[in-house]
Every structure is written in C-alpha cells, then in structure tokens.
Structure 1
Amino acid sequence: MLLGIIGAMNEEVIQLKEEMILENTREIGGYNFFKGTLLGKNIVLVECGIGKVNAAICSTLLIQEFNVDKVLFTGVAGALNPEINIGDIVVSTDLVEHDFDATAFGYDYGVIPRMEVSKFQADKDLVELAKNVAIENFGKNRVFMGTILSGDVFVASPDKIKWLRDTFNGECTEMEGASVAHVCHILNKPFVIIRSISDKANHDANMNFDEFVKLAAQNSKIIIEGMLKGF
C-alpha cells in the first residue's frame, strides 16, 4: 500500500519529512514529491501550496503520477463551531466548497451545477481511524467530527463565521481540503482531511494563526503518525 500525504504549507509537512526515510524526490510542475517510508509505511509526501487550485493540481498529480492508494491531507484551520478551541482537532466526515456560488441559477450555496455530488464524503474507515487516533492522543473533548468548509478566502470576520455556520453547519474553514476531496471523488480514491485549529476565524485570526500554526502542525503530525501505525 502506498499512502499519499499532503500539507498546504511547509510547517505542515516539514516535521514529517524530517522523520521519513527518503528514497527519492521528484519535481513535477513545481511540486516536490518526497517518496520513502515513515514508520515502516510507504508514503509520498508533498506540500501543495495555499488555495484550492494549488491543492487540486497537486492532489491530481499525486494520484496520477504515483497511483497512491489513499490520500491523507493534514494541516490547520479556523474554527467555526464556537465549542472548538485553538489546538483542537477536526476530522472530516464531508467537505464543501463554500465559495462556489451559482445561486443566480437557483442553486444553493456550495452546489456545483451539473455534478451529482457537491458534498464530498470522506472514507469512513479513514475517518474512524483518524478519530480514534486523535481521541487517544488529545482526548474526546478536543476531537470534533463533521463538515469542513474550503474556499479561497482567509476567514477573519465574525459575520462570515456566522454565515458559514448558518449556511453549511461547518465545523471549521480552510483553503484546500474540499478541492482535494473533489479530486479524490473524481478519481475514486479514499481520503480523509484532518485539521488542527490554529485560530477562531475571527478578527484575531491573523495574530492567532501566526502564533499557533506550528503547534497545530505538530498536532496534525501526531495524528498522521498514529494513523500510519494503524495501517
């Protein structure tokens, strides 16, 4: 089995890269794909860059060029659920592109016209594994399951938080996960998105993000390594 592991930023992949046994590095379209082993499991690790297009291109290349069996995406996010705090974990049950707006044609927000699916379901077995590892390491009260929202916007507004929560009932918001999920759905690859909360997506989000991103990335690393032990 070959696992694909994606992080959006260097902070989200550097710790995993430092611990893996690297076999080779392959550069494709500006993305560096690191192939090797981590905790005895075969992986391909890549930093996709920020935003939905970067994530979609990178995950497509990962699947098409390396034929990975499963895709794990790890990184940070801003909380939408008021019960979620900085450092808590959100495991995706499904993902939605919250900035997809075809409401002028009568569609609901987030619905992609002429697609049968706009809410992309994560693999149930991967979700269960991620949840169990997260609870084991951080405790049940710090682990949340539900919808993760993605869009090409860094949310830092209480009004935007309220709209996203009211419209989609999302647990957290970020900028890549749903596009990775979209690609995995099209290419028929099981996936799960794991997010550690770096900010509350409010007016303090920029300050909180810079301060806590490394801590959140460390939390994500713990979960990824725990999952690898479970395969």
Structure 2
Amino acid sequence: MLKTTIAASLLAALTCAPALAAETLDATPRVAVMSAFAPEWIVLQEALSERKDYTVNGTTFATGLIEGKPVVLFLTGVSMVNAAMTSQLAMDFFNLESIVFSGIAGGVNPERHIGDVIVPAQWGQYLDAILARETAEGEFTPPPFLEAPFPNFGMIFPQNVGVAREGAEPEEKFWFAVDPDLLAVAEKVAADINLEDCVEANKCLTTAPGIYVGGNGVSGAAFVDNAAFREYAFGTFEAQVLDMESAAVAHVAYANKVPFIAFRSLSDLAGGGEGENEMGTFMGLASANSAAVVTAFIAALPN
C-alpha cells in the first residue's frame, strides 16, 4: 500500500513538473539557411565566413556570416519528418529571425524548365491524404466522416492538416504562406542574377534558366517521377514545383511564428521529361543556381 502511495505521488510530481527548455547555443539573431542534402549544403558553405560548428542530436549547425549577415546553416535531411525535426531543433537552440530553404525540386508547371529557380508564395502538404477504398463500380470513395477538400488522384484524396500554436485555437489548413516581406526581397533580387545553364561544355540546358517568384509549391513524402501525377498536381493545386521538405518547414515556422521562405531550383521535371529523370545530370547545376539566388537574397536583407 505504501509503495503504491509513493509511486502515485511520484507520478503526480513528474506529471506536474515543467518541461525543461532547450539551452540556447548561440544568442545572436540569425537567418537559418537550410538544405535537404549534400550538394546544396556544399555550395552554401563556400559563402560562409567566421564559421563555428555546433552539433545537436547528430545534426551539425554551422554559424557564421554570408554577405555580412549572421546565419546558421544546416542540413534537414530528405523527407518531411526530417525537415520538421531539424527545423524545430534550430528554433529551440538558436535565435532565428527567419528561415530560408535553399534546394532542388521537381518542376510541375509545364512552362518552367530545368535550372529555373522557383520561389512560391505558399506551400501545401499535398500527400497528407486519405487512401480511399474502391467501390464495386471501380470508383474510390473516402469515409463519410473525413473531409476531402480536393479532387482525388485514384485512391489518393489530399486533406488539410491540423495546426496548433500558442495564442490561437487549433485550426485546419492546407496552404502555409511565406513571409510577405521576405517574398518582396526575393522579387527585388530576381531581376539581377545570371544563372548557370551548363553542367559542362557538352551538357547545357536548351532553355536559359530564370527566377520566378509567386504561385504555389507542394511537398510530400514521395519522390515523383510520373507524368500523370505531375499533371494532377499542376491541375489540382496550380503547383509550380514539388519537393519533399518545404511545406513541412513552412508548417513548423507558422506554428512557431518565424518568417519563412523557400527557393527551389528545378533539377528535373517530376516525370514530365521526354526520357529518363534528369536529376542525376542537373542536380549540381540546380543546387548552384538555388544557392546563388539565396546568397543574393541574404545580401539584400535589411540589417
């Protein structure tokens, strides 16, 4: 009986104890510049000066200056979960003024080409979905107690996601807007940058790359190399680009009230090309183009 009482008291004490806050590793207000995987990370590190590294839960965070502005660089890792996890780590351990994602992606808008840099005005999680059952008639129908706000692709019915944040009631939403002030800076720098168009002498793009600010981007836990699904994403969401991280970071940034923007250069056409997927050929070029735009963007940020 005594053991039971002590155990109950201990459990109550633990339940009521406040969670320990993360210890800030660096108090300097910084711009977080994140990428998903190594090619993007390598290019951005070349612009970093006064570097100092920190390691949190296996992730390296490199602080320093880019274009004279205090930044912290890190890799999210590929996938929505990795992107959300590392974004929250950065917010917990560093003093972030804003978040900038630099990376590559698949092009969805048929008017855009490999090498282009896309800067969407909002992001949605298009593969947060119901996988519906098939009826006897060969159609797919979601459960009646779940909402399906978008047209389906076969059994896939995209949904809104739930969001909770301090000072607000929980809400359901699909689109997460990027910060309008950051988007305005991106619009100003877009006209003044020349992008790379050749991997090497005999491997050049057929169309000179450009920078396009605005429109929609979508993210999900899948690498897309399918022409039919690409057409669906463009028709349903008016998506310019799709990737595997940006909307997750936009979600975390929104929940933490941190300004966010993402720059995505097209390494492939998500199944819309005539031959095999082009990412293996143009990944380095796309990474360099995204990093070049992000570097110019950071330089243009107000002090």
Give TM-score, length-normalised by structure 2. 0.72
Which residue of structure 2 aligns with residue 212 of structure 1? 282
From 267, 285, 295, the counterpart of 1:225: 295
Question: What runs of 5+ residues in structure 1 fail to find an aligned partner?
Answer: none
SS in 1 for 2:215: strand
Equivalence for 1:16: 44
SS at match of 2:46: helix
Preserved contact between residue 90 and residue 171 of structure 1 (Cα < 8 Å) = yes
Instruction: Show structure 2 runs of 5+ residues with no match.
Output: 1-28, 131-141, 150-157, 163-169, 196-207
Contact kept in structure 1, 2:76 and 2:86, CA below 8 Å: yes
Runs (4+) of structure 1 exceeding 4 A deviation are 138-141, 203-206
Tell me the equivalent position of 2:181. 125
Distance 1:212 1:141, change over 3 A: closer
Pick one of 165, 187, 191 that aligns with 1:135.
191
Q: Distance in 2 between matches of 1:129 and 1:221?
A: 16
1:195-228 deviation digits (Å, cap 9, x = unpaired): 0111111165864111111101111111111112
Name the structure 1 match of 2:248: 179
Distance, in Å, in 1 between the alignment partners of 2:50 and 2:191 is 30
Partner of 2:267: 198
> Counterparts of 1:192 and 1:65 in 2: how far apart (Å)?
20
CA distance in structure 2 between the aligned counterparts of 1:118 and 1:44, rounded to whole angstroms: 28
Say which SS state the counterpart of residue 192 (structure 2) adopts. Answer: helix
What residue identity is the alignment partner of 1:90?
Answer: I
Q: What is the match of residue 168 of structure 1? A: 237
State the identity as a percent: 29
Aligned to 2:161: 112
1:82 lines up with 2:151 in the alignment: no
Equivalent position to 1:148, from 213, 217, 236: 217
1:43 aligns with 2:43: no
SS at 1:189 equivalent = coil
Aligned equivalents of 1:226, 1:46: Cα separation in 2: 18
Distance 2:45 2:30 in 1: 16
The structure having more radius of gyration, on CA atoms, is 2
Tell me which protein shows more helix as a share of its residues.
1
Q: Deviations over 1:50-82 (max 9, x none)?
A: 010000001111111102110000101111100
TM-score normalised per structure 1: 0.93
CA contact 2:66–2:299 (8 Å) conserved in 1: no
> Partner amino acid for 1:112?
V
